[in-house]
Amino acid sequence: MTKNISAEEMAKQREFTAKCAEINSRRGSPPTAHVHTFGCQQNVSDGEKIKGMLAEMGCGFSDSPEGADIIIFNTCAVRENAEDRVFGNLGALKHEKRRNPNVVIGVCGCMVQQEHIVEKIKRSFPHVDLVFGTNALHTLPELIYRQLTERKREFYVPEGDGVIAEGLPIRRENALRASIPIMYGCNNFCTYCIVPYVRGRERSRSKEDILGEARTAVQNGAKELLLLGQNVNSYGKELGTDFPALLRAVNVIDGEFRVCYMSSHPKDATRELIDAIAECEKVTRHFHLPVQSGSSRVLGLMNRHYTRGDYLKIVEYIRERIPDAALTSDIIVGFPGETREDFEETLSLIREVKFDSLYTFIYSPRKGTKAAEMPDPVSAEEKGEWFRELLAVQSEIGRGLYEKYVGQTLRVLCEGGGRTDPSLLTGKTPQDVIVDFGGDKELIGKFVDVKIERAYQWALTGKIVNL
Ligand code: SAH
Ligand code: SF4
Ligand code: F3S
């Protein structure tokens, strides 16, 4: 069964875009839109499409909701604090609506795929005009058209396992980086995670569509292609291809650029994939391989389909094939039923692997997931203590980790002016490590060779060589 939205439907939406543009052109000045994206890169990519569609409807953009004609919140549901942040910001929009009753306020993204959230918005946020689900992104022109003409409250969250909408316009946030979704949804059902419920089943874009977008992005000046999926390692299963083949195909596109990807699931991080990465010179030397826990027992409860031992074997193979690779990971502290012993296994794992950096989270129960039903006897205070201990151990590990780069000459993508010192430039090494160096602003967007002179905990400094 094809999941692609039909060409007819996409054409219909383009007609609505034209109608909206017509209406907007009759105003004294173009309407402004404020699009606020919460959450992961997948959402950022959706936000770029929302902006792309709004731009074609004749909208300009503002960074603040104040005074905007259209406000859209593109939301994330992954942890409770993500949802709280959205509700806090949404509550504040009440005043905006009072000041300007004509403003169109829309909420989309992962949160609104949950019925209880839609109910809450209906009940407690009467100033929200429009709610649309992740499967309805491509219908934005039609939804906005109705807001411009009928002004009725609308909630459109179509059911289903998920769709693929090709050919939507994109307004990229960063000229140097092109985020390219290669697949949508997730089939893994890690027991703590809401994503499979709000993003539907795993589905891959065709290789041709991805390569077409990648080529165009490179021609338009992108220097970094970020291939996106909840688990890129299972790309292409239903299409008879796979992620290593896709990486090899992207790697041979003409031009100097870097290829990154997010996220990889350890259960699908095969030797074949690591070999492909080792052989593709444009692919980043950075593995973000979320481990979540160092305890095989907890990994079982999480439904992760690998053990501590499996994970360590993958790390060993990565270090054998690509000795200079950087490794980062995600860790959840306080999963239901996790004991002090389990937590200590996580500490021992991070000491053993020596990750370059970690994204750490305290477990947050998500309604509808299996873990939310599991007994969770450890108190929030204790989980907080474990969390702080984890950060302290990682900070200790991180100290001195970058010393190994001192003296090396690395190919650096120069991304912008200095982070702390405006007279410097800032870029990223093939391992995604930040480096500051002196040089002309004209080098922004170019690759340069930088000899590393000093290492700090989170960054490097160096000097350009061979210019
Ligand atoms: N698909 C990606 C990541 C999705 S969410 C992957 O599998 O790597 C990003 C991170 O958020 C996860 O890796 C996990 O560490 C964390 N996370 C997800 N659900 C969570 C929850 N309910 N509580 C705390 N952290 C969570
Ligand atoms: Fe969530 Fe697991 Fe899917 Fe990642 S792989 S999105 S953590 S269910
Ligand atoms: Fe959040 Fe949805 Fe991404 S829940 S992490 S924005 S897929």
When pLDDT is cut at 50, 70 and 90, the band that residue 2 belongs to is low
Contact (CB, 8 A) for 431 and 325: yes
Nearest ligand to the CA of 202 is 2
pLDDT for the residue numbered 458: 86
Atom of ligand 2 nearest to the CA of 187: 3
State in Å: Cα 361 to ligand 2 middle: 14
Query: Which of 376, 437, 372, 451 shows the shortest CA–CA distance to 407?
Result: 451
Our CA angle for 364, 368, 372, nearest 5°, is 40
pLDDT in tens, 19-31: 999 999 999 899 9
Nearest residue by C-alpha to atom 19 in ligand 1: 193
Which two structure tokens, joined as six digits, stand for 171? 């307004």
Q: Give the count of alpha carbons within 13 A of 331, CB side only.
A: 29
Query: Which of 286, 396, 298 shows the shortest CA–CA distance to 346?
Result: 298
Nearest residue by C-alpha to atom 5 in ligand 3: 40
State in Å: Cα 196 to ligand 1 middle: 11
Cβ–ligand 1 contact at 17 (below 6 Å): no
Buried b (16+ CB within 10 A) or exposed e, 252-272: ebeeebbbbbbbbbbbbbeee
pLDDT in tens, 345-357: 999 999 999 999 9
Atom of ligand 3 nearest to the CA of 77: 4
Q: Which whole number is the average pLDDT over 1-14?
A: 89
pLDDT for the residue numbered 319: 97
When pLDDT is cut at 50, 70 and 90, the band that residue 467 belongs to is low
State in Å: Cα 287 to ligand 2 middle: 17
Nearest ligand to the CA of 371 is 1
pLDDT in tens, 214-246: 999 999 999 999 999 999 999 999 999 999 999
Measured distance CA(60)–CA(106) in Å, rounded: 17
Nearest residue by C-alpha to atom 5 in ligand 1: 78
Cβ–ligand 1 contact at 184 (below 6 Å): no
Contact (CB, 8 A) for 301 and 328: no
Q: Which whole number is the average pLDDT over 52-57?
A: 98
Kindly report the backbone phi and psi dihedral angles of residue 395, in degrees, each rounded to the nearest multiple of 5, phi listed first.
-65, -40
Cβ–ligand 3 contact at 193 (below 6 Å): no
Nearest residue by C-alpha to atom 3 in ligand 3: 40
Query: Which of 103, 125, 98, 100 shows the shortest CA–CA distance to 112?
Result: 125
* Across 43-57, 159-173, 408-422, 427-441, least confident range: 408-422
Which two structure tokens, joined as six digits, stand for 437? 């160096």
Q: Give the count of alpha carbons within 13 A of 139, CB side only.
A: 21
Measured distance CA(410)–CA(400) in Å, rounded: 18
Whether the bond between 263 and the residue before it is cis, its omega within 30 degrees of 0, is yes
Q: Is the pLDDT of residue 456 over 80?
A: yes
Judged by phi (left if over 0) then psi (alpha if -120 to 50, else beta), residue 67 lies in: left
pLDDT in tens, 357-391: 999 999 999 999 999 999 999 999 999 999 999 99
Q: CB 450: neighbour CB atoms within 10 A?
A: 28
Q: Is the pLDDT of residue 90 over 60?
A: yes
> What SS3 state is found at 153?
coil
Atom of ligand 3 nearest to the CA of 110: 2
Sign of the alpha-carbon dihedral angle for 230, 234, 238, 241: positive
User: What is the amino acid identity at position 106?
Assistant: G
pLDDT for the residue numbered 43: 97
Our CA angle for 101, 105, 107, nearest 5°, is 160
pLDDT for the residue numbered 420: 78
- Which of 43, 113, 230, 359 has the most ligand 2 atoms within 8 A of CB, as the residue to mutate? 230
Measured distance CA(307)–CA(313) in Å, rounded: 10
Q: Is the pLDDT of residue 307 over 60?
A: yes
> What SS3 state is found at 176?
coil
Cβ–ligand 3 contact at 366 (below 6 Å): no
Cβ–ligand 2 contact at 195 (below 6 Å): yes
pLDDT for the residue numbered 417: 82
What is the pTM for the complete model shown?
0.96
Measured distance CA(248)–CA(244) in Å, rounded: 6
The β-bridge partners of 225 are 178, 259
State in Å: Cα 115 to ligand 3 middle: 16
Cβ–ligand 3 contact at 40 (below 6 Å): yes
Cβ–ligand 3 contact at 285 (below 6 Å): no
Angstrom CA distances, 309 to 195, 234, 286, 297, 403, stand at 26, 21, 21, 12, 28
Measured distance CA(70)–CA(141) in Å, rounded: 13
Kindly report the backbone phi and psi dihedral angles of residue 333, in degrees, each rounded to the nearest multiple of 5, phi listed first.
-105, 135
State in Å: Cα 84 to ligand 3 middle: 14
Cβ–ligand 1 contact at 363 (below 6 Å): yes
- Percent of the chain past pLDDT 90, that is, above it, reads 95
